[in-house]
Structure 1
Amino acid sequence: MRYLKTLSAIIFAVFTATAVLAQDGLADHKLALQISDNNPQKMNTVLNVAANVTRYYESIGESVEVRIVAFNAGLHMLREDSSPVMDRLKVFGASMPNVTFAACANTIDAMTKKEGKPTPIVNIAEHVPAGVVDLMTLDENGWTIIRP
């Protein structure tokens, strides 16, 4: 049963990432940023990279899609109750439509089980079954993967 659940999660992740690719297939550049540490400095660095890359490509008339994938302890970036970068997330959600956020469902489930209550995730984040699988799928489809 666990095998089927894992296989279903992987298949769903592939379809999710494929849907993302279909939506933004017109972008000149595609960048995925990984955050897997509960470190405010790294979270701010990820957001800085997303903003700087966006500004650069916009300044030369090219488009870029940026996807920030949070898993493991990095999921705190996208938690409503513990994100040290919540104010910046609100700005990104409102002003940078080329930047999307992915929250790992495996990590959400583990945190929910450990804490005994639902893990609140910001509404701008898409839930993906597995953050690493999302990154792998993006990589296989031509995205550049960076872990700042």
Structure 2
Amino acid sequence: MFCRLATVALLSLAFASSALAADKAHRISIQIDQNDPQVMNMVLNNAANVIEYYRAKNEDVDIDVVAYGPGLHMLRADTSPVQDRIKRLKDMVFPGKIQFSACNNSKQGMEKTEGHAISVLPEATVVPSGVVHLMELQEQGWSYVRP
């Protein structure tokens, strides 16, 4: 009798665990720290592929592309070689499912070096520190990709 109860309890636990895993939100952060259009396009390809993969499975995914250092050029209004792709990707995704985070430390450093204010793309959000933002996302359970 005890063995049956233990078996039922274990099976119940297994079903509950798999149900919770199926409802788990998919969250991925992708860093860009290079001023290289090929790498920027690879980041956008990764994001688009992840979106399409989970869309085909009818599952949600949140993506945060974090740009810092020379990678900030990806999100600069005056130098981004991929700004049209960013707009298209942002428009294609349900609002709030993809975020582009621009490092304020990098932005301020570039402004000091270049001697003028720098604007980021309207699709981007400025975060205090790109590296700290990535670290905090990982601490919250986000997956991390560096192309």
Q: Distance in 2 between matches of 1:94 and 1:27?
A: 25
Q: Distance in 2 between matches of 1:128 and 1:39?
A: 22
> Greater relative contact order (Cα 8 A, min sep 6): structure 1 or 2?
1
Residue 32 (structure 1) shift:
0.1
Number of aligned positions between the proteins: 123
Aligned in 2, Cα 1:27/1:103: closer, same or farther, shift over 3 Å?
farther
Residue 118 (structure 1) shift:
0.4
Task: Answer with 1 or 2: which has the greater Rg.
Answer: 2
Q: Distance in 1 between matches of 2:30 and 2:101?
A: 10
Q: Distance in 2 between matches of 1:131 and 1:144?
A: 16
Q: Where does residue 31 of structure 2 map in the other structure? A: 34
Gaps spanning 5+ residues in structure 1: where? Answer: 1-25
1:103-145: CA deviation from partner (whole Å, max 9, x where unpaired): 0000000000000000110011111000000000000000001
Residue 93 (structure 1) shift:
2.4
Residue 27 (structure 1) shift:
6.5
TM-score w.r.t. structure 1 length?
A: 0.80
Q: Distance in 2 between matches of 1:127 and 1:93?
A: 16
The counterpart of 1:67, out of the listed 61, 64, 68, is: 64
Q: Secondary structure at the match of 1:33?
A: strand
Q: What amino acid maps onto 2:72 in structure 1?
A: L
Aligned in 2, Cα 1:57/1:87: closer, same or farther, shift over 3 Å?
same
Q: Percent identity?
A: 46
Q: Distance in 1 between matches of 2:49 and 2:89?
A: 12
The counterpart of 1:77, out of the listed 74, 81, 92, is: 74
TM-score w.r.t. structure 2 length?
A: 0.81
Q: Distance in 2 between matches of 1:93 and 1:47?
A: 11
Q: Secondary structure at the match of 2:126?
A: strand
Q: Secondary structure at the match of 1:118?
A: coil
Residue 94 (structure 1) shift:
1.6
User: What does 1:45-60 align with in structure 2 at a 5 Å threshold?
Assistant: 45-60=42-57
Aligned in 2, Cα 1:27/1:77: closer, same or farther, shift over 3 Å?
farther
Residue 74 (structure 1) shift:
0.2
Gaps spanning 5+ residues in structure 2: where? Answer: 1-22
Q: Where does residue 107 of structure 1 map in the other structure? A: 106
